Chains A and B, each alone.
Chain A
Amino acid sequence: MTTAATKAGTRTAKAKPATMAQALGRALRDAMAEDPAVHVLGEDVGTLGGVFRITDGLAKEFGDDRCTDTPLAEAGILGAAVGMAMYGLRPVVEMQFDAFAYPAFEQLMSHVAKMRNRTGGAMPLPITVRVPYGGGIGGVEHHSDSSEAYYMATPGLHVVTPATVDDAYGLLRASIASDDPVVFLEPKRLYWSKADWSPETPAAVGPIGEAVVRRTGRSATLITYGPSLPVCMEAAEAAVAEGWDLEVVDLRSLVPFDDETVAASVRRTGRAVVVHESPGFGGPGGEIAARITERCFHHLEAPVLRVAGFDIPYPPPMLERHHLPGVDRVLDAVARLQWEADS
């Protein structure tokens, strides 16, 4: 597991509400200040600061050579980043939206993911690919895809996604520090989520590959990540009224996958629901359910269930609320966990 050294930051400055977007920007800034090899490149990342303003101020502070507005060409951006990494830089690439990363798949699959392996370890590529992903912000066509399954299915890539302001900072720092390529999925609809945070002395860096239990419970485990974490937390609170005490695991890292934390939780609770908004068929939930079944079969009181987006192209914004798994759908699944067998 690529666990970057934890930064011993004494929290002197007072915590103030900060958004995930601010934490991400701060992580980029700190990484660039610390290591001159870190370069940011992408579409509109310079003067504009990115369409989500994550790179705001970087070009001003570090110059156009460190935070570069590239021509409009995703394969070119990522391909150039490969060459830059070959020469010792640590490029951080911004893909403007999930569905616009697809032109760069060739570079990602054939080169970014494989370079270390095909050179027998001689040429690692420390590239971070930031991809704003998922829906729930009323975006039109091609602005709301959840593409994590494609990335997860590609050996050689790390795939991480934060769900909290602290993790946004910590995981992005760890991703940039990683000697392996990381696909860093940013849940768009959490960009403006807030938490008390001390930007002067930000949270710890990393770790990649460790899930975290966000809420302890003993009736069942909700396993989720990124945009679906707040949904699951809300569902867990609502479930109290039904007499269910739900545990919530935030994966944070899809690759590597923290089998241990997940299995330990499911062994405690005996029931599990995987929740994500990307389509269920061929999606991350199937893989996670299979892993749980393999490891926890004798502890399971019920089949592992999945609550996912429908198996449809992402719908138009006025219909997306029907597609996205919400609290009710999660609770419905929890209700289907064969509670009668428990009595």
Chain B
Amino acid sequence: MTVQELPGAATYRPTPPPAWKPITDPAPLLPDPEPYRVLGTDAIADVDPELLLRLHAELVRGRRYNTQATALTKQGRLAVYPSSTGQEACEIAAALVLEERDWLFPSYRDTLAAVARGLDPVEALTLLRGDRHTGYDPREHRIAPLCTPLATQLPHAVGLAHAARLKGDDVVALAMVGDGGTSEGDFHEALNFAAVWKAPVVFLVQNNGFAISVPLAKQTAAPSLAHKAVGYGMPGRLVDGNDAPAVHQVLSEAVARARRGGGPTLIEAVTYRMEAHTNADDATRYRVDSEIEAWRAHDPVQLLERELTGRGLLDDEGIAQAKEAAERMAAALRDRMNADPELVPMDLFTHVYAEQTSQLQEQAAALRAELDAEQDHDHSAEEGR
């Protein structure tokens, strides 16, 4: 029996639901179909040359930082390093768009953003060296600890931005996450909270193609990660993540919007991870050289350098100067990282609680005794020699 055959079906009309209607105009929230670009377009004319040169110098420095840190893993000075080579434009722009009072919430890959924001290059590496988890005071630099559990720092950014707004401070939080991290529940919860609370947060997704070995296509069925913004009721923006002035511009607009009370933005920067996931990963198992070569032609440092030399803003001497400055930074980093960090075993117990529990006091005393015994043993061994 079809519906038409039902008695009285021809005249049946469901009563419309009362009052509620969906918001049917998400159009302004949808990202442009193509990633936004500045380099090689007319938009470049509007960018302050000073900013372009600053971006260039920082990119060169950032690239050198990545190669130096990777070299330090080979010398055993770092336990591990997730290189951001190829992603420097995102890292640098993230650091440069923020005011001093703003906060950065980096993931484990975003050492470079933290350093570009002014963090001591050695303090930024303690997590990866293995002597301390976070080698700096987050409040002093307004940089949250580099976060390893994926996407879990995103709700923190929302909470902090929300708290700042409640206090009447015009502080913005910029939170960084990878493409794989967008599949985590915390990503969803953070975006939803931020949109509902109109929190001054900017979410920057660095879509570098892979989550360790898993390509984006196995991570999501969404047309783009920026599209995800629409469902939360916030704008999504798509930007060429290797185009430094473009990333800077898109991030700046989002930060300004957040600062004036416009709420959060989700930005997807399309970029590529040129190195393996970390030095411990074998990337040949999941990607081919031709793909890497194609991206090498779209290298963020080269792109900017070509544009600037073409426009007469940068010459060989300028490039050489930027390289020298980067070498000086690398040499200093090398020197300082070659010194063994000072380890204080008793620190194990110092910062678990504000005050040590009696249980921890007992354990600390036991370790103290072990250390003393070790020392006595060493002394007597020396004397016996």
A residues in contact (CB < 8 Å) with B: 1-2, 39, 65, 70-71, 73, 75-76, 78-89, 91, 103, 106-107, 110-111, 114-124, 155-156, 158, 178-180, 209, 255-257, 259-260
B residues in contact (CB < 8 Å) with A: 132-140, 144-145, 149, 152, 154-164, 166-167, 173, 185-186, 189-190, 192-193, 196, 347, 350-355, 357-359
A103, B155: Cα distance in complex, Å: 14
Q: A122-B139, A259-B358 are in contact. Are A116 and B160 (CB under 8 A)?
A: no
Least CB distance, B98 to chain A, in whole angstroms: 15
| Beta-carbon contact of B158 and A119 below 8 Å | no
A116, B385: Cα distance in complex, Å: 44
Q: Which residue of B lies closest to A81 (CB)?
A: B159
| Beta-carbon contact of B132 and A83 below 8 Å | no
Least CB distance, B266 to chain A, in whole angstroms: 16
* A-side contacts of B173, CB under 8 Å: 83
Least CB distance, A154 to chain B, in whole angstroms: 11
| Beta-carbon contact of B156 and A119 below 8 Å | no
Q: Which residue of A lies closest to B156 (CB)?
A: A83
A255, B163: Cα distance in complex, Å: 29
Q: Which residue of A lies closest to B348 (CB)?
A: A117
Q: A80-B159, A84-B163 are in contact. Are A158 and B132 (CB under 8 A)?
A: no
| Beta-carbon contact of A119 and B133 below 8 Å | yes
* B-side contacts of A71, CB under 8 Å: 189, 192-193, 196
Least CB distance, A183 to chain B, in whole angstroms: 13
| Beta-carbon contact of B351 and A107 below 8 Å | no
| Beta-carbon contact of A83 and B133 below 8 Å | no
Least CB distance, A122 to chain B, in whole angstroms: 4
A118, B354: Cα distance in complex, Å: 13
| Beta-carbon contact of B137 and A79 below 8 Å | no
* B-side contacts of A122, CB under 8 Å: 134, 136-140
Q: A84-B159, A259-B359 are in contact. Are A76 and B186 (CB under 8 A)?
A: yes
State the total of A-B contacts with C-beta under 8 angstroms: 149
A328, B173: Cα distance in complex, Å: 57
* B-side contacts of A81, CB under 8 Å: 159
| Beta-carbon contact of A117 and B357 below 8 Å | no
* A-side contacts of B161, CB under 8 Å: 83
A-B residue pairs in contact (CB < 8 Å), sample of 21: A1-B355, A73-B192, A73-B193, A76-B155, A79-B155, A79-B159, A79-B190, A80-B162, A82-B155, A83-B163, A83-B173, A86-B159, A87-B164, A88-B163, A110-B152, A118-B133, A120-B135, A122-B138, A122-B140, A156-B352, A178-B354
Least CB distance, A316 to chain B, in whole angstroms: 29
* B-side contacts of A103, CB under 8 Å: 185
Interface centre among A103, A119, A124, A178 (most CB of B within 10 A): A119
Q: A209-B357, A259-B359 are in contact. Are A76 and B193 (CB under 8 A)?
A: yes
| Beta-carbon contact of A79 and B154 below 8 Å | yes
A82, B144: Cα distance in complex, Å: 11
A85, B163: Cα distance in complex, Å: 8
| Beta-carbon contact of B134 and A118 below 8 Å | yes
| Beta-carbon contact of B357 and A256 below 8 Å | yes
| Beta-carbon contact of A86 and B156 below 8 Å | yes
Q: Which residue of A lies closest to B173 (CB)?
A: A83
Q: Which residue of B lies closest to A68 (CB)?
A: B197
A2, B353: Cα distance in complex, Å: 9
* B-side contacts of A70, CB under 8 Å: 193
Q: Which residue of B lies closest to A157 (CB)?
A: B353
Q: Which residue of B lies closest to A69 (CB)?
A: B196
| Beta-carbon contact of A79 and B158 below 8 Å | yes
* B-side contacts of A2, CB under 8 Å: 353-355
A260, B358: Cα distance in complex, Å: 9
Q: Which residue of A lies closest to B191 (CB)?
A: A76
Smallest CB-CB A-B distances: 9 pairs: A79-B155, A83-B159, A76-B189, A80-B159, A83-B160, A118-B133, A256-B357, A87-B163, A83-B156
* B-side contacts of A155, CB under 8 Å: 352
A84, B157: Cα distance in complex, Å: 9
Interface centre among B156, B157, B166 (most CB of A within 10 A): B156
* B-side contacts of A76, CB under 8 Å: 155, 158, 186, 189-190, 192-193
Least CB distance, B134 to chain A, in whole angstroms: 5
| Beta-carbon contact of A80 and B152 below 8 Å | no
Q: A110-B149, A119-B145 are in contact. Are A180 and B353 (CB under 8 A)?
A: yes
Q: Which residue of B lies closest to A258 (CB)?
A: B358
| Beta-carbon contact of B133 and A158 below 8 Å | no
| Beta-carbon contact of B162 and A1 below 8 Å | no
Least CB distance, B32 to chain A, in whole angstroms: 29
A82, B355: Cα distance in complex, Å: 20
A279, B190: Cα distance in complex, Å: 34
Interface centre among B149, B155, B167, B355 (most CB of A within 10 A): B155
Report which of B137, B138, B156 forms a contact with A111, defined as CB distance below 8 A: B156
Report which of B137, B185, B347, B359 forms a contact with A75, defined as CB distance below 8 A: B185
Q: Which residue of A lies closest to B350 (CB)?
A: A121
* A-side contacts of B353, CB under 8 Å: 2, 116, 156, 158, 180, 256
| Beta-carbon contact of A82 and B357 below 8 Å | no
Report which of B139, B157, B163, B352 forms a contact with A116, defined as CB distance below 8 A: B352
| Beta-carbon contact of A79 and B352 below 8 Å | no
A293, B353: Cα distance in complex, Å: 26
Q: A82-B159, A83-B162, A84-B160 are in contact. Are A107 and B134 (CB under 8 A)?
A: no
